[in-house]
Amino acid sequence: MDRAVFLRALREPASMGGLAPAEWDVLLRQGRHVGALGRLAALAAGAGVLPAVPSRARVRLEAALEDVEQQHRLIRWEVIRLRRALAGTGLPLVLLKGAAYLHAGLPASRGRQFSDVDILVPRASLHEVEAALLREGWKMEALSAYDERYYREWSHELPPLAHPKRHVMLDVHHNILPPTGRLRPDPRLLLEAAVPVTGDGLRVLGPADMVVHSACHLLQSGEHDKSLRDLGDLDALMRQFGAAPRFGDELAARAAALDLERPLFYALRFAARLFGTPIPEATARAVRRAAPPALVRAAMDRLFAAAVEPGPPQDPPRRTRLARAVLTVRYHWLRMPPSLLARHLAHKIGGRRGRG
Amino acid sequence: MKLGALSASELTARLARGGLDVDTGPFVVRVETEIPALADELRLLYQDFPVDEGDGLADFHVSVRRPAGPLGLRRWWRQQAMAYLDDVRPFEPLPIGMALPMLEWSINWCAATQANHYVMIHAAVLERDGRALVLPGVTGAGKSTLCAGLALRGWRLFSDEFALIRPADGQVDPWPRPISLKNASIELIRRWAPDAGLSTPVPNTNKGTVAHLRPPVGSVARTGEPAMPAWIVFPTFARDAAPRLTRLPRARAFFKLADCSFNYESLGLRGFTTLSRMIDGCDAYEFTYSSLEDALSLLGALPLP
């Protein structure tokens, strides 16, 4: 399937007003595959082109808008419950990703589909937070002993939690990258710089940190079928925050302080290539110093471009499948030292055999 | 042009190459398959539906293919059918003989998971004198049998699985697709209407033996005519039971109805507003029956609310 129409719809929403029905036939499916139907709908509505959309496609977009509204309502409700559950800990509730965009009223939340809440807590308070959540009825998914250990020792988050009466997943992070990885941002910096948003005791990461986290998430994840949606987030954040005069310097400084210049380099590069994302000169200059050698850069360009295909997740084209496999290996390579990686792979491969 | 007007070879060829857009009323379904036996069944069941030669925009894309399996062996030995729904494979493959039920379930799955511009209730729906009868129910409550029985005796068929309620005005849209009959119902309906079009019964599915009944031509011709719901009847089939129709208080009916909905929860306020308005405009009943004749006369005599 052709992704040019899809990318153009995200970059220039008004272009959706001129699409033929047969193009919508493909675009609607791509939107669903990437988890961005709500985003397309919000963009089309924002550009005022919904009336020009063929009616069969329009009813789907309008329904997607309402679905997103309901999802956002559920997320807000979940955050209220969370705040109550954690009130006794005295900690501020630091929201990450979608829930943060929503509560900060950022354009990145417009039409954004998501059904989980991510929060960041100090590592020292992890047990206290977990105990409070379990006491208030949240349940942890039953995991194998190995997976449990994987989360507890080698991951930057607790095993996923959910309240059985609601369907919102909760990820409790104590960092934005695994403690076993090559890159080790200091989470205290993130927590200290968190800024309050409307709603008692709610905070989100500072603007620069939010961009750095979004970049990290894009590059340090084993999955790429939804990467175009995530790039859309990064693009929206950059357009919003980049308007402030000193933002370019601030972003460069934070990326350096957090030791995350390399992921920021890649993420901004890909966002600029696919979305035309504007990058402040000060940031561009700073992250260029963290750029990998030309050969690696060229390889990553090709891999990433092939990996972000907006097609069906199960049956991607061959080159997409290959690129995703290579990026997954890279991801694991970066998140674990070789000895641990060998153990992890042995377990996963052995486990798969055992089950089969 | 109606699907039945295509010659057998033309139909097979178009289904195999790029697919055929079937206008089922509320949804255009692009059906694609390389399985010739499935083409024959489709011809029997969907003959009265228009083929959409329009603009190339389909609501659902259902492709039933034969997976090649290791070394391509499945092409020859124990052939299977695999459904691709909008390019995604949500189900395990089934033996190739189950291709038709698989296709029908696939189309239902597409609607249940995507058509959030409707409030969707798992229900059979029929119409008489411009008002709709909604028969919600879990599988096994006998709603498909009841639905087939009524549709073959004067009621207009809307659907045997989906009440598609429009949030804007509360009307139900018809979606008169083939009726799925199970086990003893197949023989019962064959006796009830000996010349009704029935697909070849498929044994050993996870619902037992399944056959599909061709929707009446008069119902298919009127997919553009919605109706306001008037009666919500929760059916229970009980062998040898005397027919019994009891009024159901509105509040209870509301929760029972919401329970049968595919998307009440995910629609939030839209779902609540639409269903409460629907309950306010309808009479609700519980209905126990053992024979189609009793059902026909009792339901036919329901007064307007």
A331 C-beta neighbours (distance < 10 Å), count:
17
Q: Which residues contact A94 (CB under 8 A, 6 or more apart)?
A: A119, A120, A121, A190, A191, A194, A203, A204, A205
Nearest to A29 among B86, B89, B115 (CB): B86
Residues of chain B that touch chain A, judged by Cβ-Cβ distance less than 8 Å: 28, 54-59, 61, 86-89, 114-117, 266-270
Give the integer Cα–Cα distance in Å for A316 and B71.
Answer: 21
φ and ψ at residue A287, rounded to 5 degrees: -75, -20
Nearest partner of B186 among B144, B137, B135, B133, judged by Cα: B144
Structure-derived torsion over alpha carbons of residues B291, B297, B299, B300, reported in degrees to the nearest 10: 150
pLDDT band with cut points at 50, 70 and 90 for residue A200? confident
pLDDT band with cut points at 50, 70 and 90 for residue A3? confident
What pLDDT, in 10s, does the model give residues B94-107?
999 999 999 999 99
Residue B235, by phi and psi: left (phi above 0), alpha (psi -120 to 50) or beta? beta
Give the integer Cα–Cα distance in Å for B231 and B248.
Answer: 11
Give the integer Cα–Cα distance in Å for A9 and B146.
Answer: 48
Residue of A1, A66, A69 to mutate when probing chain B, most B C-beta within 10 A: A66
Give the integer Cα–Cα distance in Å for B25 and A62.
Answer: 19
DSSP H helical ranges for chain A: 4-11, 21-34, 37-46, 55-86, 97-103, 126-135, 145-154, 187-192, 207-219, 227-241, 247-257, 261-275, 281-288, 294-307, 318-335, 338-355
> Which H/E stretch holds residue B9?
helix B8-16
What pLDDT, in 10s, does the model give residues A52-96?
999 999 999 999 999 999 999 999 999 999 999 999 999 999 999
Give mean pLDDT, residues B291-303. Answer: 95
What pLDDT, in 10s, does the model give residues A251-275?
999 999 999 999 999 999 999 999 9
CB burial string B107-142: b at 16+ within 10 A, e below: bbbbbebbbbbbbbbbbbbbbbeebbbbbbbeeebb
- Closest Cα of chain B to A16: distance in Å? 15
Confidence at residue A110, expressed as pLDDT on a 0 to 100 scale: 96
What pLDDT, in 10s, does the model give residues A272-310?
999 999 999 999 999 999 999 999 999 999 999 998 888
Q: Do B221 and B101 touch, CB atoms closer than 8 A?
A: no
Q: Do B86 and B102 touch, CB atoms closer than 8 A?
A: no
Confidence at residue A170, expressed as pLDDT on a 0 to 100 scale: 96
Find the range with the poorest average confidence among A39-48, A332-341, B154-163, B277-286.
A332-341
Q: Report DSSP state, residue A164.
A: T
Beta bridge partners of B121: B163, B261
Structure-derived torsion over alpha carbons of residues A105, A109, A114, A117, reported in degrees to the nearest 10: -30
**What are the contacts of A47-55 at 24+ separation with CB within 8 A?**
A47/A13, A47/A14, A47/A16, A47/A17, A48/A14, A49/A13, A49/A14, A49/A16, A49/A17, A52/A16, A52/A17, A52/A18, A53/A16, A53/A17, A53/A19, A53/A24, A54/A21, A54/A24, A54/B55, A54/B57
Radius of gyration of chain B (CA): 19
Residue A73: list chain B partners with CB under 8 A. Answer: 268
B266 to A25: CB separation less than 8 angstroms, yes or no: no
What pLDDT, in 10s, does the model give residues A100-151?
999 999 999 999 998 899 999 999 999 999 999 999 999 998 888 888 888 8
φ and ψ at residue B234, rounded to 5 degrees: -90, 105
Confidence at residue A199, expressed as pLDDT on a 0 to 100 scale: 74
- With 50 as the cut, is the pLDDT of residue A355 above it? no
Nearest to B267 among A21, A70, A313 (CB): A70
Give the integer Cα–Cα distance in Å for A150 and B23.
Answer: 51
- The single residue listed with the structure tokens 């190459």 is B17
B57 to A21: CB separation less than 8 angstroms, yes or no: yes
CA atoms within 13 A on the CB side of B291: 7
How big is the CA angle at B228 (ends B223 and B234), to the nearest 5 degrees?
100
* Cβ neighbourhood burial of B233 (10 Å; 0-12, 13-18, 19+): buried
Q: Kindly provide the ipTM of the predicted complex, given to two decimals.
A: 0.92
- With 70 as the cut, is the pLDDT of residue A356 above it? no
Please report, as a single letter, which amino acid is at residue A49.
V
- With 70 as the cut, is the pLDDT of residue A352 above it? no
CA atoms within 13 A on the CB side of B39: 20
Confidence at residue A142, expressed as pLDDT on a 0 to 100 scale: 82
More confident residue, A346 or A27: A27
Residue A32: list chain B partners with CB under 8 A. Answer: 86, 114
**What are the contacts of B288-291 at 24+ separation with CB within 8 A?**
B288/B235, B288/B236, B288/B237, B288/B238, B288/B241, B288/B243, B288/B244, B289/B142, B289/B146, B289/B235, B289/B236, B289/B237, B289/B238, B289/B241, B289/B243, B289/B244, B290/B237, B290/B238, B290/B239, B290/B240, B290/B241, B290/B242, B290/B243, B291/B243
Nearest to B268 among A33, A57, A70 (CB): A70
Q: Do A65 and A37 touch, CB atoms closer than 8 A?
A: no
pLDDT band with cut points at 50, 70 and 90 for residue A1? low
Q: What percentage of chain B exceeds 70 in pLDDT?
A: 100
pLDDT band with cut points at 50, 70 and 90 for residue B137? confident
B86 to A32: CB separation less than 8 angstroms, yes or no: yes
Confidence at residue A354, expressed as pLDDT on a 0 to 100 scale: 42
Q: Do B22 and B49 touch, CB atoms closer than 8 A?
A: yes
Confidence at residue A222, expressed as pLDDT on a 0 to 100 scale: 67
- With 60 as the cut, is the pLDDT of residue B184 above it? yes
What pLDDT, in 10s, does the model give residues A217-254?
888 766 788 889 999 999 999 999 999 999 999 999 99
SS3 content of chain B, % helix, strand, coil (to 5): 35, 30, 35
Residue A58: list chain B partners with CB under 8 A. Answer: none
B57 to A24: CB separation less than 8 angstroms, yes or no: yes
pLDDT band with cut points at 50, 70 and 90 for residue A350? low
Please report, as a single letter, which amino acid is at residue A140.
M
CA atoms within 13 A on the CB side of B200: 12
The pTM assigned to this predicted structure is 0.91
pLDDT band with cut points at 50, 70 and 90 for residue A165? confident
Mean pLDDT, chain A, integer:
91
Q: How far apart are the first and last CA of chain A?
A: 33
Nearest partner of B186 among B164, B218, B170, B208, judged by Cα: B208
Residue of B32, B53, B57 to mutate when probing chain A, most A C-beta within 10 A: B57
